[in-house]
Structure 1
Amino acid sequence: MKLVKLLMLLISAILLTSCVDSRGQVQDLIVAPDANVSAIEGKWEVTSLLYRLGSSIIDEESDYIGKEALFHTDAVVLGSEYTKEPSYKIKRVKTSDYLIYKYKTSPLSLGLQNEYINVITVLNQEQYFCELLQLDDKTAFIYREDGFYKLERKVAKVSLEEVLRYIDVEESVQQSFGSIEPENLNSGVLLGFKVQSFDEDNELPRWEYYTYWIQMKNGELGEIYRMDHLLLPRKNGFWIVEQERITENNIVYDEIHATPLFNLQNQDKFMEDLAFNFDEKINTFGAALDKVEPSILKNIVFVGNDYISVESIDRDRGDRRTLQTYAVDNLEDKKPIKLSDLIGETAINLFNEGARSVITIDDQVFPNEENFTLTRRNGYWTLKGRINFKDKDEELFREFNIKAIPPREMVSYDELSIPFDAVRLAIPDVQDIFSSPNNDFLVVITSSNIVIYSIEGYDINKVPLARVELPSDSTVVMSEWSTDRYPDIWKNEMLKHGAIEVEQN
């Protein structure tokens, strides 16, 4: 009997160990605070700037270099920041996945070869304080102001008295680490939303699109506006992007249009150009009876300066759902681009690798690198692929993440002033976030609202500046930022094309 109990204990221990070390999974290993802090306890020093996001220039004279970080169970100091009520969480993650999807960079940018690393999150009164990527007992990375800095452990343990002495000095100075006063700041964002509705005439789903304008000027939130359709700012001016539902001879299909506003003389001409000329289409059918449009429904998944991604639903093939990405300038040609056209020759391998992670590739399953889009994940635009297959004559698909950073041709600005995890701690129902390039305000998307917060240092002011109710089933498909003199121009463009002010709660 004792032998049986010993065997049961041994098996349980093995199973528990396997759960903790589940490879490829991002797992929070929530254990006692002492066990968590021991991984980084002691005195560390910022020794170098390894990589600055979005720039090839590394400024070795950064003010952060030489700063000290002290970690203790009951207090933490990080440069000029501190907390007297810290708590710790640790998780083990796959290096490439974590860096790509959270920081939009690759292990090579940091010179990392570790397949897995430990991520240690420090909380201040259960709110996000900082995050360390730990390589080993003596080396860690920390992300600050769009850059990764290297931390080296100088002392294994520090006393609480020493940490509190550091805090006393900082409290007397009353200066926050890296803080700036907002002065002459002007930033605004166009957020495009898709809302699914129902076409009662054809008993089919359909989609509507809206653009919201949010602007912050010198710390003051302006009026929030909304207009129908998607207003897309491009280098050559503003364009309108919309979906058109066409019904002809019992055939229902959709077209996606992108129309430059600078070619339109007035609002009436704009509506005429967007309207479908049924008489002309009928004449076209009469001249070419052998050409019949397939019954394909379409909805917009992503819109950027130069590219649009669309989901097509082929009703003649069992509602087969595929993704296509088009250049805005060539949208009418209906020729989708390949992933390799955007990210180069590694695209096919990355696409196939993602596909194999969700399905077995065989003679019945064919990966197609045209079948991709951009989608939102934890506050960033990320590349997502799709693979279609049949199961007992039923059309199915599976989606997967593509381990590559979206090129700047698709996303011009895609940064976060405050990490998504930090916002989620403060706002549990957050679904998505967008932060201003000027670091002055944050837009939080929940299941039913747009909520705007001001940013103070590395945290958000938890009292919202405004709240705007969203239609149910709203999905963000576009985010375009402007700064300096451009927000006022963009706002006027919204008003010129029929935008209305929305009620703020």
Structure 2
Amino acid sequence: MNGPLDFTRNGPLYVGNKFISIINDEYITGGGTFRTGSNTMALYEIEDLGHSKKRQNTTKLFDMLSRSQQKELRKIAKDFNREEDSNNNEEEPILIKEKRVMDIDNLALKRKEGRWIIAIPVFSEYSHEGNGSYFYSLEEYVDYNGKVPKKLVPHNSLCVKWGEILQVVPDALDAVSSPNKDLLVVLTDNKLLVFNNPTKGLEKATTTIDIEENQQIVLSQWAVGDDAGKWSETFRDYFEE
């Protein structure tokens, strides 16, 4: 007979020069048919990653936004959740409850057309009042077009237009360019294409690097030389603990 299970997995969604956004997946089983699981987002300061106590100090992306953005997001979530509540079947069994929830306390950053945007998560909330099971599972993201705080993402633009990149690399999924505009890296499903001096033209990639499929860009901080190794070591230590 299998015993109780307590499983936690986490991974980075965004890494900047000061903050890192991490998604945490948790799954727990207990006696009988009890099960619980959740997906949550947490925002940490990079310097806190090496200190177990300081890792308890998380920040919400929502709290970093302007008051007007917060007001707008509250309305978006309120309208969404009100509509979902009205669509719920009132005759469903009381024992089991399931609904979709837009959660602005768990805002995340995601990539879209070469830049970081704010994403509002929609969760599927499930509860079983008979055995106490509860799940809060990420279902999808809804894009929010408000400005991303510079405190969080200092560099959030491309040196060439996304449309120009697609003309040269039709299967491009994402792209990043250096702050001084002398380097552009384009991501496809299985390659990285590097262009030197992209503002002068994108006729041919300077270098092409094969990568594993379904890779994503999470790092917004440019690092070279010894700094690149320091980044790798910091995150390896965190995620292996």
TM-score (norm 2): 0.69
Counterpart of 2:225 in structure 1 is: 491
CA-CA distance at 1:494 after TM superposition: 3.9
* In 2, Cα distance between equivalents of 1:337 and 1:362: 29
Q: Residues 362 and 329 (structure 1 numbering): CA distance in 2 closer, same or farther, change over 3 Å?
A: farther
What is the SS of the residue equivalent to 1:422?
helix
43, 48, 68: which one aligns with 1:325: 43
334, 343, 358: which one aligns with 2:56: 334
The letter of the residue matching 2:45 is A
Identity %: 19
What is the SS of the residue equivalent to 1:480?
coil
Does residue 297 in structure 1 map to residue 9 in structure 2? yes
* In 1, Cα distance between equivalents of 2:8 and 2:230: 33
CA-CA distance at 1:370 after TM superposition: 2.6
What is the SS of the residue equivalent to 2:164?
helix
What is the SS of the residue equivalent to 1:370?
helix
Deviation per residue, 1:299-344 (Å, 9 max, x gap)? 1111112211111112125442222222334454324322342113
Q: Residues 375 and 437 (structure 1 numbering): CA distance in 2 closer, same or farther, change over 3 Å?
A: same
119, 122, 128: which one aligns with 1:387: 122
Q: Residues 494 and 379 (structure 1 numbering): CA distance in 2 closer, same or farther, change over 3 Å?
A: closer
Counterpart of 2:207 in structure 1 is: 466
Does residue 481 in structure 1 map to residue 218 in structure 2? no
* In 2, Cα distance between equivalents of 1:296 and 1:347: 32
Asked whether the 8 Å contact 1:372–1:386 carries over to 2, the reply is yes
CA-CA distance at 1:355 after TM superposition: 3.7
* In 1, Cα distance between equivalents of 2:171 and 2:69: 35
What is the SS of the residue equivalent to 1:478?
coil
Q: Residues 311 and 385 (structure 1 numbering): CA distance in 2 closer, same or farther, change over 3 Å?
A: same
Q: Residues 456 and 298 (structure 1 numbering): CA distance in 2 closer, same or farther, change over 3 Å?
A: closer
136, 151, 157: which one aligns with 1:415: 157
CA-CA distance at 1:410 after TM superposition: 1.1
Root mean square deviation, CA, Å: 3.2
Does residue 402 in structure 1 map to residue 124 in structure 2? no
* In 2, Cα distance between equivalents of 1:493 and 1:362: 49
Q: Residues 477 and 431 (structure 1 numbering): CA distance in 2 closer, same or farther, change over 3 Å?
A: same
Q: Residues 376 and 306 (structure 1 numbering): CA distance in 2 closer, same or farther, change over 3 Å?
A: same
Aligned length: 201
The letter of the residue matching 2:215 is S
Does residue 434 in structure 1 map to residue 169 in structure 2? no
Asked whether the 8 Å contact 1:355–1:400 carries over to 2, the reply is no
Asked whether the 8 Å contact 1:445–1:451 carries over to 2, the reply is yes
Counterpart of 1:158 in structure 2 is: none
* In 2, Cα distance between equivalents of 1:352 and 1:391: 23
* In 2, Cα distance between equivalents of 1:354 and 1:455: 41
* In 2, Cα distance between equivalents of 1:399 and 1:357: 16
Q: Residues 334 and 442 (structure 1 numbering): CA distance in 2 closer, same or farther, change over 3 Å?
A: same
Q: Residues 361 and 334 (structure 1 numbering): CA distance in 2 closer, same or farther, change over 3 Å?
A: farther
* In 2, Cα distance between equivalents of 1:312 and 1:368: 15
Give unmatched runs, 5+ long, in structure 1. Answer: 1-248, 253-294, 483-489, 500-505
CA-CA distance at 1:469 after TM superposition: 1.1
Counterpart of 2:32 in structure 1 is: none
Q: Residues 437 and 497 (structure 1 numbering): CA distance in 2 closer, same or farther, change over 3 Å?
A: closer
Q: Residues 356 and 433 (structure 1 numbering): CA distance in 2 closer, same or farther, change over 3 Å?
A: farther
* In 2, Cα distance between equivalents of 1:496 and 1:336: 22
* In 2, Cα distance between equivalents of 1:367 and 1:392: 17
* In 2, Cα distance between equivalents of 1:498 and 1:312: 20
User: Map of 1:70-149 to 2, 5 A cutoff?
Assistant: none
Higher strand share: 1
344, 365, 369: which one aligns with 2:66: 344
CA-CA distance at 1:456 after TM superposition: 5.2
Deviation per residue, 1:94-133 (Å, 9 max, x gap)? xxxxxxxxxxxxxxxxxxxxxxxxxxxxxxxxxxxxxxxx
Asked whether the 8 Å contact 1:454–1:465 carries over to 2, the reply is yes
Report which stretch shifted further, 325-334 or 435-444.
Answer: 325-334
The letter of the residue matching 1:445 is L
User: Map of 1:149-160 to 2, 5 A cutoff?
Assistant: none
CA-CA distance at 1:430 after TM superposition: 0.4
Does residue 369 in structure 1 map to residue 104 in structure 2? yes
Deviation per residue, 1:253-288 (Å, 9 max, x gap)? xxxxxxxxxxxxxxxxxxxxxxxxxxxxxxxxxxxx
Deviation per residue, 1:54-75 (Å, 9 max, x gap)? xxxxxxxxxxxxxxxxxxxxxx
* In 1, Cα distance between equivalents of 2:11 and 2:108: 12
Asked whether the 8 Å contact 1:378–1:433 carries over to 2, the reply is yes
Structure number with greater CO (CA < 8 Å, separation at least 6) is 2
CA-CA distance at 1:408 after TM superposition: 1.3
Q: Residues 480 and 395 (structure 1 numbering): CA distance in 2 closer, same or farther, change over 3 Å?
A: closer
Give unmatched runs, 5+ long, in structure 2. Answer: 29-34, 87-98, 129-134, 234-241
Asked whether the 8 Å contact 1:302–1:308 carries over to 2, the reply is yes
CA-CA distance at 1:379 after TM superposition: 0.3
Q: Residues 354 and 379 (structure 1 numbering): CA distance in 2 closer, same or farther, change over 3 Å?
A: farther
